[in-house]
Amino acid sequence: MSGCIVQTPRILPCGDGALSVDFGNVIDPDVNGRVLALDDALRLRAPAGLLETVPTYRSLMIQFDPTLTDYDALERLLTDEAQNVAPQSTLGKRWRVPVVYGGPFGIDLEDVAQRHGLSAHQVIDLHAQAVYRVYMIGFLPGFAYLGGLDPRLATPRRTKPRAKIPASSIIIGGQQAGVASIECPSGWHILGRTPVRSYDPGRDPTFLLAAGDEVVFQPIDASRWDELERAAEAGEPVAEQVSP
C-alpha cells in the first residue's frame, strides 16, 4: 500500500480515555505540520477534560478524562478543528548539535560507509550537511525522531538489535535519523555520539528538543569530548541555538 495524505482526518478511539486524530500514513512535513498545528490549537483552547496531547509523525493522540467530557462531543470538536487546521507555518528552534563521529563513539560508521560504497568521511559529510526536522519525541524520554536523512545513507536496521546503546548516540535506521536520549536497546546504526543531553530531569528545560524543532550536526574532534561532557553534566545545554 502506497502512502497517502488524507484531506479529512480520521478520528480513531484508543480505549475509553484517548483517541487519535490521523492525518495520513506518510512521513511528510505538511502532514506533521498539521499535527503540530492541531496540537497548538488544543493547547490554546483546551476542551474540558483534556489531559495530554502526544504528537507523532502523522497523528495526534489525545488523552482525556471520560468523567469530564463526552466522547462524541470531543470527536465532533476535533473533527471541525482538524479539518480547518493549516500546516504549522513556522518551525521551532534550530539547534547545532556537536557530534564525535566514528571510532568508539560511532561503532557502525565504517560498516555503513562500506555498505554504501562511501568513505567514512563521505558518510560524515552527508550526515552533517543535512538540516533535520524533529518529527516527534517518543519511545523513551527525549528520544528524537528526525526526518531529512540523505537518501544515500538510508540503511535498514540491524537484523540483530543490540541490548543497549550509549546515551546520546547519533543513529540512523531506514530513512530516519535519531538522537538517542538514554541508554537503550536499539537496532539502529551508531554513527557517533553527542555530549548533548536531550533529556535531563535535573535541568530546566528537562527536554531540550521538541517536535517542530530543527537539528544540524557539527562534527567535532574526540579531544573535545571530556570538556563538553563536563559542561553537560553541569546542566549546560551544550547544543547551540542558531538562526535558520
Condensed to tens digits (0 to 9), the pLDDT of residues 144-202 reads: 999 999 999 999 999 999 999 999 999 999 999 999 999 999 999 999 999 999 999 98
63 and 11 co-located in one domain: yes
Are the C-beta atoms of 166 and 179 separated by less than 8 Å? no
Lowest mean pLDDT among 122-131, 200-209, 214-223: 200-209
236 and 216 co-located in one domain: yes
Considering 84, 113, 145, which residue would you say is the last residue of a domain?
84
68-71 contacts at long range (C-beta below 8 A, 24 or more positions apart): 71/13, 71/19
- Supply 179's cell numbers: 538522537
Supply the CATH number for residue 57's domain: 3.30.1360.40
Q: In 3D, which of 149, 198, 151 has the Cα closest to residue 171?
A: 149
Residue 89 has pLDDT above 70, yes or no: no
37 and 126 co-located in one domain: no
From the CB of residue 3, how many other CB atoms can be counted at a distance below 10 Å?
11
Are the C-beta atoms of 156 and 236 separated by less than 8 Å? no
89 in a structural domain: no
How far is CA 234 from each of CA 95, 197, 209, rounded to the nearest angstrom? Answer: 19, 11, 18
What pLDDT was estimated at residue 81? 85
Residue 25 has pLDDT above 90, yes or no: no
* Upper half-sphere CA count for residue 20 (Cβ side, 13 Å): 13
What pLDDT was estimated at residue 2? 46
What pLDDT was estimated at residue 216? 98
**Cell 492525518 belongs to which residue?**
23
Distance CA 165, CA 50 (A): 36
Considering 34, 65, 84, which residue would you say is the last residue of a domain?
84
Residue 80 has pLDDT above 90, yes or no: no
What pLDDT was estimated at residue 1? 36
**Cell 495524505 belongs to which residue?**
5
Mean per-residue pLDDT, 94-101: 98
- Structural domain containing residue 157: 94-242
Residue 136 has pLDDT above 90, yes or no: yes
Residue 82 has pLDDT above 90, yes or no: no
Residue 118 has pLDDT above 70, yes or no: yes
Considering 84, 109, 135, which residue would you say is the last residue of a domain?
84
HEC profile for 78-98? HHHHHHHCCCCCCCCCEEEEE
26 and 76 co-located in one domain: yes
57 and 172 co-located in one domain: no
Number of domains in the chain: 2
Lowest mean pLDDT among 36-50, 86-100, 144-158: 86-100
Distance CA 237, CA 240 (A): 8
112 and 173 co-located in one domain: yes
Q: What is the mean pLDDT of the chain?
A: 92
Question: Whole-model pTM?
Answer: 0.89
Residue 56 has pLDDT above 60, yes or no: yes
**Which has the higher per-residue pLDDT, 71 or 54?**
54
Beta bridge pairs of residue 217: 97
Report the side by side order of strands in the sheet with 50-55: 5-13, 18-24, 59-64, 50-55
Lowest mean pLDDT among 2-16, 37-51, 85-99: 2-16
H-helix segments, the chain: 29-44, 71-84, 109-115, 120-129, 225-233
75 and 102 co-located in one domain: no
How far is CA 59 from each of CA 6, 8, 142, 150, 156, rounded to the nearest angstrom? Answer: 11, 13, 18, 24, 24
